[in-house]
Amino acid sequence: MQFFRPLRPIAALSFDLDDTLYDNEPVMHACEQDAAAALGRRYPQLAHLSAADWAARRHLRAQREPALQHDMTALRGATIAAELVAHGMAESEAERGAQQGMAEFIRLRNRIRVPQETLLVLATLAERWPLVAISNGNADPALIGLAPYFQFCLRAGPDGRAKPYPDMFQLAAQRLGIRPESLLHVGDHLQTDVQGAIHAGAQACWLNDHQRQLRSDDHSRTLPTLEIRRLASLCELL
């Protein structure tokens, strides 16, 4: 544990989900492949589209509609609907198809096994402080065994702009009834988590479990309050 700023009194902790509480990369790789295949089976006119093709289409859609960058679920759904319309489907039918496609995506996306160590750390911390989740993604704590540890979960889109924008950090503090500087946010990303939390007036704990170099990392713009190499190190704050 290394400190870069004075640690102020903590009234609550917030956690990023993906790649902070579990390894999200293999989950998303499998999900993207299986979701593309499922769409191809349901709609043969889309069977030629690979996971990479869908990613490229989402990128173009987000460029045309920047607001969708703050809601990954809406972006995915809009991309599916647009592709179905482009292949001759009526808009109303395409919307229903997109809803069905997203329901399958959410199922696939939540095939997550949270490490036992993560659960033990959250259980220990929850005895001392209220915990909340703040995520840019669409993992559902209720579907992956994390809901019992969190007071609530905020997601980009329904609950504000995506991190590093301050919306969700400030909303979390407001809902918890605390000042932002009393919130310690824990996350793996130096821009979305660390920069976002610090600029929102909160404190930031950088989970650096891949031994990256803070001062040479491409996303390093703002110093965290502290850096840890393992989530379990948070228990030392007790």
pTM as predicted: 0.92
Residues 204, 160 within the same domain: yes
How far apart (Å, rounded) are the C-alpha atoms in residues 199 and 8? 16
Assess whether pLDDT exceeds 90 at residue 211: no
Assess whether pLDDT exceeds 90 at residue 219: no
Nearest to 106 by CA among 68, 77, 132, 147: 77
Residue that is last in its domain, among 109, 125, 149: 109
What's the domain range around 133? 2-22+114-237
Residue that is last in its domain, among 92, 109, 126: 109
Assess whether pLDDT exceeds 90 at residue 169: yes
**pLDDT above 90 as % of the chain:** 93
How far apart (Å, rounded) are the C-alpha atoms in residues 200 and 234? 21
Nearest to 124 by CA among 205, 20, 231: 231
pLDDT in tens, 173-193: 999 999 999 999 999 999 999
**pLDDT above 70 as % of the chain:** 98
Residues 131, 163 within the same domain: yes
How far apart (Å, rounded) are the C-alpha atoms in residues 63 and 65? 6
Query: Does an H or E element contain 175, and which?
Result: helix 167-176
Residues 56, 30 within the same domain: yes
Residues identified as active-site:
16
Residues 147, 222 within the same domain: yes
Residues 125, 207 within the same domain: yes
pLDDT category at 220 given cuts 50, 70, 90 is low
Q: What is the pLDDT of residue 213?
A: 78
